[in-house]
Every structure is written in structure tokens, then in C-alpha cells.
Amino acid sequence: MNRRLKLNGTILLMFLLVFTQSSCETTDSSKVTQSNARVKSDTLQNDFAEAFQIIHHQGYIEIVVQNPDDLSQRESYRVAQSNSVKGNFLPLEIEKVIALSTTHVGMMRALDLDNSIAGVSDYKYLCNPVSKSNVAEVGHLGMADTESFLKVNPDVILYSGFNEKSPILNKLEQAGLKTFKVFEWKETHPLGRAEWIKVYGALFNKEIEAKTIYEEVKSKYFTLKDKLKLESSSESMFAGTYFGDVFNVPAGESYMAQLFEDANINYVYADTEGTGSLSKSLEELLTTNMETQYWLNAGVSNKRDLLKQSAKFEMLNAFEKGKLYTYFNNNNCFWENSPIEPHIVLEDLAKIFHPQLFDNHELKYYELLKRNQSERITD
């Protein structure tokens, strides 16, 4: 009897030892698996940008591009981090790029990647000229032919998301060319657009440089914003352009409206909903803004052209007092560089509306709408 109890006790002890060891091994294995998962996949957190994610995996970087208005519209791109990675990847060294929007050009130039630009849509929209012998003009995506892209033979073609339905995209991919969708223009916060420099850093193996640029821009932007909080914003302003029979003004949740808010400007349409533009009739615009002191972003270079659009603009207080500012004469440079220089745009606005704080600042993008001989009003 005692021998049987002793034997049963021994068996029970061995069972417990095996079970305990097995449990410990399972727990340790789980920890190792979780640890490896952290090493293999690391999603970087964005500050303001909503249209991209950067995920670091073992051996490659994944860039997810999505439309903030419709998250079902997602594209995933993989960038190799070594030459040994095989499969459908963008190469580790991207040497030739067709940049179809000037904003793409501006981001690449900010990272000193001018020499990688092998093609653009149209020379005339560039801020600075390029060597036509080194940079091809391939045409706009909706009107270009496949052959012009094939001649360049780029490593990747950067294109804006509003062209995503263009039939030529399928033809380019069938021809073996890689494309990359950019949704930076969908970002409603100025720093969200600037944050897209990180995407270019991931694409071109310049993540450290890209992060440094972004952090410096963000710091300057917030320093200026905090300074402007202390100022009054008594003078009112409206912004927008007249085209056809419609006057388009930035909605209250848009990119431009965010800049106006951060510049501490009393924007007439600040409380409206929407992230794009509001369409106003001319009569509605005039009635609302008869006494508004400032008009920004008129799509003309001088007052004469403004009166050609409508002689009724002459009735506006902003026109009479000469408080009309536009970036129209610097249009190319504004659209190419403002996404990565929101602090400069903010400083321009601050100079216009809070001039006492910025005596030494010269306007970079904006300028007062020019006088001309046909003008019938004196200040």
C-alpha cells in the first residue's frame, strides 16, 4: 500500500513538473513572438496628417495612402530596405522620378533630390527652371501618352489622387512602370501637408532628414501661432476667387481657414462647415462683404483685371481702401513650396494683419494688388 502511494506521488510530481515547464515554455514563446512582432512591424504616429501611414517592417517600409474623405480608398506601397528583398517593391535606391505636381517637386527639392527629378508634367508651372536636357516634359496625366513616360523610364511616377481614375494609369502599370498616389492636398491642416515630407523621406531613404525638416517647420509654426494669439483681430477679411458666375471662398474647416485662424484673422466665413470651397453668388458675396476690410487670394494680378471680372467689385470697402492681397503673381512658387513652408505663409499673413510685429519681414508669397492707370479710385 505504501509503495503504491509513493509511486502515485512520484508520478503526480513528474506530471506537475512537466506541466509547469510546458506552461513556462508557452509563456516565454508568446513573449518572444510578441517581441518579434514589435521588431517586424512599427507604425509611426502622425501629428496632423490623415492621408498616410508609414509602417516599418523587417526588410521594407510600407506606406499606406488613403483618402481622408473615404478611407476605403487605400493604396499600400512597399519600399525595399535592402537590395536582397524580392517581390513587388519600390527599389531601395530611387534614382529617376516623374513628379506630376509641383508640390511633389517642392518636397523633393526640400530634401535636395533635384537630381532625381527626371520628368514633370509642364515646365511652365515650376517655381524654378530645370534643365530641359535632363528633365522631360511628359504632359498632364489626363492628356499624356504612355510613350512619353516610357522614354523617361522612371523608377516611380508620383501623381495626385484627383487623377486616380485616369485610364493611362493602368497602361503605365501594364508597361511595368510603378506609380505612387499622393493625397497631400487633402490634408486640412497646414502642418498635415508639411508632414508629407516624411513620405518622401521613406521613399528616398531620407527619413532622418525629413523628420528634421518637419520638426523645424512645426516648431517655427507654433512659435509664430502662439505669438499671434496675443494680438487682436478686429479687422475682417474674406478670401476667394470669382470664376464664371460663382465666387469660391474657403470653407471654415479648410486648409486656408486653418491658416487664417492660426494667424488670428477675423475671417468672415470661419464658422461655416466644410473642408473645401463654398460657392457664393456674386450678389451674396457683395452683400455680405460690402464693409469687410480685406480681400485675400483674388485670382488676378492687378485691379484692372479684377474690374474686368465685375465692375461691382469697385463697391467693396476692401477695393476702395486698397486692402487686396494675392499670391497670384507668385502662383508657381506658392503651390510648389507652401506645403513644406506653412510657417512662411503664416508669417506673410501675420505681416499683413499684424504689421506692428513684423517690421523686418518681407512678404514672400503675398503682395498688395497692384495699382494701374485704369483704376478710378485713390487711397
At 19-57, the pLDDT tens digits run 334 444 333 333 333 333 334 568 899 999 999 999 999
Q: Report whether 87 contacts 96 (CB < 8 A).
A: no
Query: Beta-carbon neighbour count of residue 68 at 10 Å?
Result: 16
Query: In the structure, what pLDDT confidence band is assigned to residue 372 with cuts at 50, 70 and 90?
Result: low
- Express each pLDDT in 259-310 by its tens digit: 999 999 999 999 999 999 999 999 999 999 999 999 999 999 999 999 999 9
Percent over 70 (pLDDT), the chain: 87
Query: In the structure, what pLDDT confidence band is assigned to residue 166 with cuts at 50, 70 and 90?
Result: confident
Q: Report whether 201 contacts 209 (CB < 8 A).
A: yes
pLDDT at 230 over 50: yes
- Bridge partners (DSSP) of residue 76 are 64
- Per the listing, cell 465692375 goes with 311
Q: Which CATH architecture has domain 229-368?
A: 3-Layer(aba) Sandwich (3.40)
Q: What is the pTM of this model?
A: 0.85
Query: In the structure, what pLDDT confidence band is assigned to residue 93 with cuts at 50, 70 and 90?
Result: very high
pLDDT at 359 over 90: no
Mean pLDDT along residues 65-72: 86
3-state helix, strand, coil in the chain (%, to 5): 45, 20, 35
Burial of 79 from C-beta contacts in 10 A (0-12 / 13-18 / 19+): buried
Which of 12-16, 33-37, 91-95 is least confident? 33-37
Mean pLDDT along residues 143-157: 94
**Top CATH class, 43-217:** alpha beta
Domain boundaries, the chain: 43-217, 229-368
Q: Report whether 228 contacts 263 (CB < 8 A).
A: yes
pLDDT at 124 over 50: yes
- Residues contacting residue 62 through CB under 8 Å, at least 6 positions apart: 54, 55, 56, 76, 77, 78, 79
User: What pLDDT is recorded for position 68?
Assistant: 87
Of residues 52 and 378, more confidence is placed in: 52
- Give the 3-state secondary structure of residue 318: helix
Write down the H helix ranges in 95-253: 102-110, 146-152, 168-174, 190-194, 197-203, 207-228
229-368: same fold as 43-217? yes
Q: Report whether 326 contacts 301 (CB < 8 A).
A: yes
How far apart are the two ends of the chain, measured CA to CA in Å? 118
Tell me the average pLDDT of the chain: 87
